[in-house]
Structure 1
Amino acid sequence: MDLEDEIIMLPGPVPVAPRILRAMSRPMINHRGEEFKEIFGRIEKGLKEIMQTENDVFVLSGSGSCAMEAAISNIIKNEKILTIVNGKFGDRFHEIAKRYGDPVPLEYEWGDPIEPDDVRRIVEEEKDLKAVAMVHNETSAGITNPAPEIAEIARENDLLFIMDGVTSIGGIDVRVDEWGVDIAVLGSQKCLGMPPGLSMISVSERAMDRMVESPPLYMDLKAYKKSADKGQTPYTPALPLFYALDEAINIVMEEGVDARIRRHTHLASMVRDAVKEWGLELFPRLNDVSRYSNTVTAIKMPEGISADELRSRAKKMGVVIAGGQERLKGKIFRIGTMGNIREKDVLMVLEVVERVLRG
């Protein structure tokens, strides 16, 4: 199978548009020069529009987990933070927090909805909490969590709210300023539709004022702010990926942020409708359809075929889909609908998956 013929429908990485790939082939430039400063300025402006924020926005040469760790390590030093876990990446927030402070976990079964009343109860019971960390869109379980409600609880109790928007920003309606998100992170290889390797982070003035002394050197967000004021990064940026980000943002702006979100919603609904037609069951089982992720759909494995066999046979037919992770391994499969994919891509993938399921 020629890799160029494959359709990758994962919850990241995603297919990359040819014009983004071409942008990456540009010659290197002086990352302390005026040309980079112009690129940096366009990126900053575009990211603020996509994230719907006026907060500072920084670009880190590292994956989404890099930005997650930057968010925690700049805020927490031997202090308490509430970590909300209902999937693999909520668990990652908790594991990061254990390295820098004293996390107080609120744990659910993977895929179970987060209840704001549970969060409010812990916030009222626990003393000396500094922040709340939560994943907005938990791709490991195909569920979108109630970020606006949790942000409101945090703000009411004078806590910082840290939100992983790695797989939601740019594909699901996210309003960083309106919701009151103090720190939001996203990853390059998700809804922005570019290669892995960059992560973006927005930081409120409130969060900047409460940062710890001596955070990790490479992820020191105050250093990023100081450099950003000059149109630079504090350390050598991954220039080809900055070129890609610049072009990816151009594509987002040409489509329009609202239109892009509507497209993601439509593509996810196509997958959910197909699952119903196949007689399969979505994972998790939710009463509120708006809680299902619009960037990845998780489906319970039917009897008679294993997740590995399903994925292997689909791959031979040119389609790459995801299985479950860790405790959900073998129990679900997942179809991503994020980035610059089109309706015809989804139709082709659904046809292949249906053929495999029907044997």
Structure 2
Amino acid sequence: MNQEHKGYVPLTRAEFSTLTSQFARLLSTEHPPVIIPGEAILGIEAVAAGISAPGRTFINVVTGPYGSLFGGWLERGGARVVEVKVPFDEVVPAEQVAAAIERVKPDAISFVQAEVVTGGSNPAKEILRIARTHNLITVTDSVSAVGGEELLVDEWGVDFAAVGAQKALGGPNGVSAVSISPRGWEFMESNKAAPRNSILSLLDLKPSPTGVEPLRVPPNIPALEARALIDALAAVEAEGLDNVISRHRAAAASAVSGIKALGLEPWQKDSGHYSTLTTTVRIGGDQRLRIAQPVGIVAPGDGELNGRLLRINHFGVNASLQSVETAVTALAELLETDAAAALQAVRAAWGNAHA
């Protein structure tokens, strides 16, 4: 095989700088994010390993399985973790977070911004505002949220934000990023237990704080996927991030209208906090909706949610009218009912979203 093939040439410093700049613009931050040579879950675990230590107290918001996973990693590092947990068909009320902060007096707070698995989106901006008033270190798992909803890292005061491209951004999942504020770096550097010389070490990947020194390309970054990611982020910039977010909002509104027209109920209880990336459908006792395998972008629930909900994955290229129509038609077929009225509702909602 020709070793000069694009996928076999190591990523250049110029390409790496392009990727870092793209992520910084995407996240509205002046600070170069850390590029993670792996799937976004690696960056999330690396954050937990880098900031967790005995003597530190975290409030960890749990509104889905990924919140539980992050809390376990914090505990593994010796931190005290106090959960603020709600049922998985709800998002966390900001008032509940504020009350927990007053009671616990933590050092930091962590939460998942958008729960693709449950179809809910936590009130990130309000949670972060509350955290800033208490001078807390803030950690967001924004892997699914980025591109589907706003994430203004510097303005909102996010110290650690893990992001990936495989959802709303329509990119590969083999390269991801973690945005870290100067305050976040200080919090990590003050942790003697933070990993070094490890796949979980963010400190080993720290960019130059001045920007004068050239960015170092991690030796194990997969060049082929990094280039695909550069192309995906360039496409997002060409479409315009606001337009990408609007497209996801329209897809969500259309999907919700479609399932309601079929007589189905959204899994999430609060209509003001539906995810823009997935619409989840409550199964209840309807055996017709208990599918074992995905039907297009209609998928069964993950883990403990299997058999309790269905998920319409309208993110990335599937944040489109055609994809939502196809998904609603698939649900109508499972219910053995006519899809015409539901499709009319889908189209009306799409049109209203773009009016």
Same fold (TM over 0.5): yes
For 2:277, which of 295, 300, 305 is the aligned residue?
Answer: 295
Q: For 2:21, which of 45, 58, 63 is the aligned residue?
A: 45
Give the stretch that moved more between structures: 201-210 or 218-227.
218-227
The residue that corresponds to 2:124 in the other structure is 147
Change (3 A) 1:190 1:256: same
Residues 187-198 of structure 1 mapped to structure 2, 5 A cutoff = 187-198=164-175
Change (3 A) 1:105 1:242: same
| Matched residue type, 1:84 | V
Q: Deviations over 1:154-204 (max 9, x none)?
A: 211121010011111111122112211111111231112123222211000
Distance in 2 between the 1:123 and 1:162 partners?
A: 15
Paired residue for 1:219, among 192, 200, 203?
Answer: 200
Deviation at 1:53, TM superposition (A): 1.6
Structure 1 position 302, deviation (Å)? 5.2
- State yes or no: 1:270 paired with 2:254: yes
Establish whether residue 245 from structure 1 lines up as the match of residue 229 from structure 2. yes
- The AA in structure 1 aligned to 2:107 is K
Deviations 1:300-359, CA, capped at 9 Å, x for gaps: 1154425443x54x63xxx24222223322010001111122322222222222222226
Counterparts in 2 of 1:96-245, with a 5 A limit? 96-100=73-77, 101-127=79-105, 129-211=106-188, 212-216=191-195, 217-226=198-207, 229-245=213-229
- Work out whether residues 63 and 199 of structure 1, in 8 Å CA contact, stay in contact via their aligned partners in 2: yes
After superposition, the Cα gap between the structure-2 partners of 1:329 and 1:60, relative to the gap in structure 1 and judged at 3 Å, is same
Contact 1:135–1:163 (Cα < 8 Å) also in 2 = yes
In the alignment, is the contact (CA less than 8 A) between 1:280 and 1:302 conserved in 2? no
Letter in 2 for 1:29: V
Deviation at 1:71, TM superposition (A): 1.6
Match of 1:6 in 2: none
Cα 1:293–1:226, aligned 2, differ >3 Å: closer, same or farther? closer
Identity, % of aligned pairs?
26
1:322 to 1:267, Cα distance in 2 relative to 1, 3 A: same
Report if aligned partners of 1:82, 1:106 keep a CA contact under 8 Å in 2: yes
- Between the aligned partners of 1:284 and 1:30, the Cα distance in structure 2 is 45
SS at match of 1:155: helix
Does 2:7 match 1:27?
A: yes
SS at match of 1:298: strand
C-alpha distance in 1 between matches for 2:207 and 2:24: 18
Cα deviation, 1:100-150, whole Å, max 9, x if unaligned, reads 1221111111122312222222212224x2210000101221110011111
- The equivalences for 1:55-66 within 5 A come to 55-66=31-42
The CA distance in 2 between the partners of 1:197 and 1:264, in whole Å, is 23
Name the Cα RMSD after superposition.
Answer: 2.0
Rounded Cα–Cα distance in structure 1 between residues aligned with 2:31 and 2:207:
14
- Sort the Cα spacing of 1:55 and 1:111 in 2 relative to 1 into closer, same or farther, 3 A: farther
Between the aligned partners of 1:352 and 1:254, the Cα distance in structure 2 is 32
Contact 2:148/2:168, CA 8 A, preserved across alignment: yes
Q: Helix, strand or coil: the match of 1:210?
A: helix
* Secondary structure, aligned partner of 1:340: helix
Structure 1 runs (4+) deviating above 6 angstroms are none
* Matching residue of 2:344: none
Query: Structure 1, unaligned stretches of length 5 or more?
Result: 1-24
Count of paired positions = 323
Partners of 2:273 and 2:285 in 1: how far apart?
26
Q: Is the 8 A contact 1:184 1:201 kept in 2?
A: yes
